[in-house]
């Protein structure tokens, strides 16, 4: 068996011959799994739904990724019941034993990451390097959160004593019960494995709903937990639409906490309504409209490279995508020239191929958002590059569009405010860093932000004044994107997140626990 290659977003290189050979073998395995039927998984048993739904690849609509059981409200109720029934035994399982199962799950994902990455490529259109990075990130989230839990000794901490030797006090963190996890299509394994894993290691049981567009990745996570030996009912999978499966999860009184990653509108609606009888944990991550600031003292080639990578990686379908740029006027034209030059060189096409940098966007609705944004930019400003749907050279059966850079728009234009989730970024000239910071902060969102400047005072001001949870300085690899468990905590301020604590960080697992004080007299 070939030695497993350690994958991270930062270390992936397209000239790694062994990696590509292993990935090509993963594609062969993945092709053999396409088109299969996948049931829900409730209480340790397969469960059909109310009919099925079919997923076709955004690369080529003739490719059937699979058919999936369409879950119902009754399926969710049964999954919650199974999770509640399994909770007492899982809660009583020593935390070290829970961690062992989750670490075993991480190893299984890593062992299968070439196959899982290829399936992700078929399902959501990620390039091979992006897909491999995510599959390994899912595994590393389980490893890192396990390490955090262990370093904190299962969150049991001796407390002080007022002088009576017979009295012993401690603080302990205890699970809530049943957590629901609703994951997005854009990081279908990492943003499912992370919250589900943290909930499980804390002693909660889980009901999991993947995004309909990435149901197969949800199935792969469930099969990894099963292969690791997770007890029946501890992790339950219900697939289906948000207006039935998602709504029942939101309304079911047996759900004690919820994690949602998705749009601001849905997330805020969930945050406002989830708690009824008493407050319940509601962890929502709601995207971003992420700015990059380029001052006159920046390395412009570095800035253009970082902006291009963050604006167009995975078609701009990242909550951290760099979708707006504020650049000081003296260097505006040169930055745009370099950004256009770099964008022109991007290889667009089948993401399963080694040479492809940018694959399709997820569906026809995304194409519609793209075309509407381009039309507005042409009406109100200028398109520097891009703006077209691609339909030649074998791309006509997929959802391929050109990466697009626009400018000349008023600072308050919708295209600087609304999250689009397509490969589209808008550039605006400013007269000062002060103006750039003011415009950057004038947003509902506050997820990520980046700055390019060789002036330490400007960098310090950016770090001090920008209203976002994840910051990058002079980063060629990505102006506003790129995070790894235990390296860059990832969480938003304002309308980008609800708890003030980031994923991928040491604070994340504790959010799935509540504190209890024990005072014991001998």
Residues 316, 339 within the same domain:
yes
Q: Catalytic: which of 305, 319, 402, 419?
A: 319
**Any domain includes 10:** no
Q: Domain containing 276 — which CATH number?
A: 3.40.605.10
Give residue 1's pLDDT. 38
Q: Report helix, strand or coil for 425.
A: strand
Residues 153, 113 within the same domain:
yes
Give residue 392's pLDDT. 86
**Any domain includes 12:** no
Give residue 16's pLDDT. 80
Cβ pair 373, 383 in contact under 8 A: no
Give residue 506's pLDDT. 95
Residues 270, 375 within the same domain:
no
Q: Catalytic: which of 115, 285, 305, 419?
A: 285
* Structural domains in the chain (count): 2
Cβ pair 346, 311 in contact under 8 A: no
**Any domain includes 459:** yes
Q: Which two tokens stand for residue 73?
A: 């409200």
Residues 330, 388 within the same domain:
yes
**Any domain includes 319:** yes
Environment class of 185 (CB within 10 Å of its CB; exposed 0-12, middle 13-18, buried 19+): buried
Residues 330, 455 within the same domain:
yes
Strands 382-385 and 290-294: unpaired
Residues 462, 338 within the same domain:
yes
The DSSP code sequence of 448-514 is: EEEEE-S-HHHHHHHHHH---SEEEES-TT-SS----TTTS-B--EETTBSSS--BTSTTSGGGGEE
Residue 365 belongs to what H/E stretch?
helix 364-380
Q: In sequence order, what are the beta bridge partners of 389?
A: 401
- The low-confidence residues of the chain, meaning pLDDT below 50, are 1-2
Residues 122, 75 within the same domain:
yes
Quick count: other Cβ atoms within 10 Å of Cβ 460? 12
Q: Which two tokens stand for residue 401?
A: 């569009």
Q: What is the pLDDT of residues 163-212, one digit of tens each?
A: 888 999 999 999 999 999 999 999 999 999 999 999 999 999 999 999 99
Residues 264, 349 within the same domain:
no
Give residue 102's pLDDT. 98
**Any domain includes 494:** no
Residues 277, 294 within the same domain:
no
Domain that holds residue 208: 18-286+500-521
**Any domain includes 350:** yes
Residues 349, 261 within the same domain:
no
**Any domain includes 409:** yes
Give residue 2's pLDDT. 46
DSSP letter assigned to residue 313? G
User: How far is residue 90 from each of residues 83, 94, 101, 141, 231, measured CA to CA in Å?
Assistant: 10, 8, 12, 21, 8
Residue 46 belongs to what H/E stretch?
strand 45-47
**Any domain includes 488:** no
Residues 253, 345 within the same domain:
no
Residue 139 belongs to what H/E stretch?
helix 128-151
Give residue 164's pLDDT. 86
Catalytic residue check, 282: no
Q: Domain containing 297 — which CATH number?
A: 3.40.309.10
Residues 224, 306 within the same domain:
no
Catalytic residue check, 285: yes
């Amino acid at each position: 068996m070939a030695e497993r290659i350690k994958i991270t977003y930062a270390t992936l290189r397209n000239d790694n011959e062994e990696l590509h050979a292993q990935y090509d073998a993963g594609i062969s395995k993945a092709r053999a799994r396409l088109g299969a039927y996948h049931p829900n998984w409730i209480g340790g048993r397969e469960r059909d739904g109310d009919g099925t739904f079919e997923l076709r690849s955004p690369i080529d609509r003739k490719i059937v990724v699979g058919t999936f059981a369409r879950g119902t409200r009754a399926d969710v109720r049964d999954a919650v019941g199974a999770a509640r029934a399994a909770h007492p035994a899982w809660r009583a399982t020593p935390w070290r034993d829970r961690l062992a199962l989750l670490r075993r799950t991480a190893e299984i994902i890593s062992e299968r990451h070439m196959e899982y990455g290829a399936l992700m490529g078929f399902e959501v259109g990620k390039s091979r390097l992006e897909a491999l990075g995510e599959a390994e990130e899912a595994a590393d989230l389980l490893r890192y959160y396990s390490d955090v839990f262990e370093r904190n000794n299962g969150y049991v901490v001796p407390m002080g004593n007022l002088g009576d030797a017979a009295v012993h006090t401690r603080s302990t963190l205890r699970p809530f019960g049943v957590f629901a996890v609703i994951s997005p299509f854009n990081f279908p394994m990492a943003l499912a494995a992370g919250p589900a894993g943290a909930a499980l290691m804390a002693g909660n049981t889980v009901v999991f709903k993947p995004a309909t567009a990435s149901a197969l990745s949800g199935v792969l996570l469930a099969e990894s937990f099963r292969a690791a030996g997770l007890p029946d009912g501890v992790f339950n999978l219900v697939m289906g639409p948000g207006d039935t499966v998602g709504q029942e999860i939101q309304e079911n009184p047996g759900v004690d906490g919820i994690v949602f990653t998705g749009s601001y509108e849905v997330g805020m609606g969930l945050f406002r309504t989830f708690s009824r009888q008493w407050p319940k944990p509601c962890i929502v991550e709601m995207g971003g409209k992420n700015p990059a600031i380029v001052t006159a003292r920046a390395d412009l080639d570095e800035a253009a490279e970082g902006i291009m990578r963050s604006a167009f990686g995975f078609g701009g379908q990242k909550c951290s995508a760099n979708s707006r740029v504020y650049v000081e006027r003296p260097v505006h034209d040169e930055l745009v020239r370099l950004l256009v030059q770099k964008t022109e060189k991007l290889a667009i096409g089948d993401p399963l191929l080694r040479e492809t940098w940018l694959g399709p966007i997820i569906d026809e609705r995304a194409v519609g958002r793209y075309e509407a944004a381009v039309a507005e930019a042409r009406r109100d400003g200028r398109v520097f590059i891009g703006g077209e749907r691609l339909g030649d050279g074998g791309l006509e059966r997929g959802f391929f569009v050109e990466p697009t850079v626009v400018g000349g728009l008023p600072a308050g234009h919708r295209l600087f405010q609304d999250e689009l989730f397509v490969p589209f970024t808008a550039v605006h000239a400013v007269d000062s860093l002060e103006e750039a910071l003011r415009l950057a902060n004038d947003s509902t969102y506050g997820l990520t932000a980046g700055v390019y400047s060789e002036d330490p005072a400007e960098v310090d001001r950016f770090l001090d004044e920008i209203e976002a949870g994840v910051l990058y300085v002079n980063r060629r690899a990505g102006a506003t994107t790129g995070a790894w468990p235990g390296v860059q905590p990832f969480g938003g301020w304002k309308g980008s997140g609800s708890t003030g604590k980031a994923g991928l960080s040491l604070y994340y697992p504790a959010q799935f626990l509540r504190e209890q004080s024990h005072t014991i007299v001998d």
